[in-house]
Amino acid sequence: MHTATLAKVAVARGVQAKAARPGLQLHRVLLVVLFVIPLVATALGISYYLSPAAERVRSDLHPWLKPSGVIGQSFGIAGLLLFLFMWLYPLRKAFGARRALGSVGAWMRFHTAVGLTLPLLIAVHAGWRFRGLIGLGYLAMLIVSLSGIVGRYLYTRIPRSRSGLELSREEIAGKRRSLVTDIAASLDLDPASVERELTVAARPAAGGGAWATLKRLVSNDFARWRSIRRLRARWSAPRGGGPRIDRSVLDRAVSLARDEIRLSQQLELLDATQRVFRYWHVAHRPVSVTALFAVLVHVAVAIAMGQTWLR
């Protein structure tokens, strides 16, 4: 009876954890929307975008799709607002753990979603033609977006709380013990045996700098995937001639095991990952500032020359 109670508690924790992260789903919706809208606009105006500049001015779509046109400039204004929104994330981090402002993790997810899709919005605004200052700004923005993928990958490889703050080594150890206990309760197994099954073969610490650390992180991802497949096959097999374990219980246990193995791997490379993440910040910020400067100059020039339908 005690084991059954523990299993129910473990499942309840999983439900509460999912309910506590609505921003995770919302940021995915935003990511899809910001990808789909410019792609649809590009598909509808593909004949215009593939035409030479001299032929575009004679197209019926030109008043709509040119950078200063209704659709073109709408994308530009939306892109500018989203670009400025991205700069609120560093300000949010500066305020620390203030719940009234939302969690740092949620801000990071929205920051990443906008950063990945912004080049598409700006490409539609520019009519998929990049010359002069806008070309420089777009190149800087594209570099920021691509580097953001690397930054997001490193960010998620540093253990954090739900608020987005980094966990200490003691907090990580406590979280791992809790996961092992929940898995043991769900599967009616001894916690010590579960801990042994979750142990991934130890490897020497990463050396050789940032590139070696990145390769090790990717290697750990594949090793975790293989370990999870092995554990699922082992735990799903009937024990002692009894019935197979319930599918929902198995899925829950496997999910917990994935989290525990991930924490173990992250703890092993914590110092190296944090070091690479600091290097990434040093490289990411100046390019971001360059993109911001180019965008603001472009907007100022466009307004000064009267290239706006809002005037």
56-98 pLDDT, tens digit each: 999 999 999 998 899 999 999 999 999 899 888 888 777 766 6
Distance CA 106, CA 225 (A): 26
Confidence at 9, pLDDT banded by 50, 70, 90: very low
Q: What is the pLDDT of residue 307?
A: 59
**Percent of the chain residues topping a pLDDT of 70:** 84
* In-domain check, residue 145: yes
CB 81 within 8 Å of CB 141: no
* In-domain check, residue 241: yes
Confidence at 42, pLDDT banded by 50, 70, 90: very high
* In-domain check, residue 61: yes
Q: What is the pLDDT of residue 276?
A: 92
- Say which residue, 242 or 21, is predicted with more confidence: 242
pLDDT in tens, 111-168: 888 988 999 999 999 899 887 767 777 888 888 888 888 988 998 899 987 766 788 8
**What is the distance of C-alpha 276 from the center of its chain?**
17
Q: Please tell me whether residues 191 and 141 are part of one structural domain.
A: no
Q: Please tell me whether residues 148 and 201 are part of one structural domain.
A: no
**Going by C-beta distance under 8 Å and a sequence separation of 6 or more, which residues neighbour residue 114?**
30, 34, 82, 83, 85, 86
Q: What is the pLDDT of residue 54?
A: 86
Q: Please tell me whether residues 244 and 109 are part of one structural domain.
A: no
Could you tell me the residue range of the domain that residue 201 belongs to? 169-268
Helix ranges, the chain (H): 2-19, 22-44, 46-49, 53-56, 62-65, 70-86, 88-94, 104-125, 132-156, 169-187, 191-198, 210-236, 247-268, 270-304
Q: Please tell me whether residues 37 and 148 are part of one structural domain.
A: yes
**What is the distance of C-alpha 261 from the center of its chain?**
20
* In-domain check, residue 309: no
In this structure, the dihedral spanned by the alpha carbons of residues 237, 239, 244 and 245, taken in order and rounded to 10 degrees, is -100
* In-domain check, residue 134: yes
Q: What is the pLDDT of residue 224?
A: 92
Q: What is the pLDDT of residue 50?
A: 93
* In-domain check, residue 163: no
Q: Please tell me whether residues 151 and 66 are part of one structural domain.
A: yes
* In-domain check, residue 201: yes
Q: Which of 85-99, 102-116, 201-215, 294-308 is the least confident region?
A: 201-215
**Going by C-beta distance under 8 Å and a sequence separation of 6 or more, which residues neighbour residue 308?**
68, 73, 302
**What is the distance of C-alpha 109 from the center of its chain?**
6
Q: Please tell me whether residues 66 and 212 are part of one structural domain.
A: no
Could you give phi then psi for residue 51, rounded to 5 degrees? Answer: -80, 150
Q: Please tell me whether residues 95 and 51 are part of one structural domain.
A: yes
* In-domain check, residue 310: no
Q: Residues of 242-265 as b/e, b for ≥16 C-beta within 10 angstroms?
A: eeebeeebbebbbebbbbbbbbbb
CB 169 within 8 Å of CB 146: no
100-115 average pLDDT score? 81
Q: Please tell me whether residues 17 and 33 are part of one structural domain.
A: yes
Q: Please tell me whether residues 128 and 257 are part of one structural domain.
A: no
Q: What is the pLDDT of residue 228?
A: 92
Q: What is the pLDDT of residue 163?
A: 65
Q: Please tell me whether residues 138 and 188 are part of one structural domain.
A: no
Q: Please tell me whether residues 264 and 280 are part of one structural domain.
A: no
Domain count, the chain: 2
Label residue 89 left, alpha or beta by phi (over 0 means left) and psi (-120 to 50 means alpha). alpha
Q: Please tell me whether residues 61 and 202 are part of one structural domain.
A: no
pTM of the model: 0.76
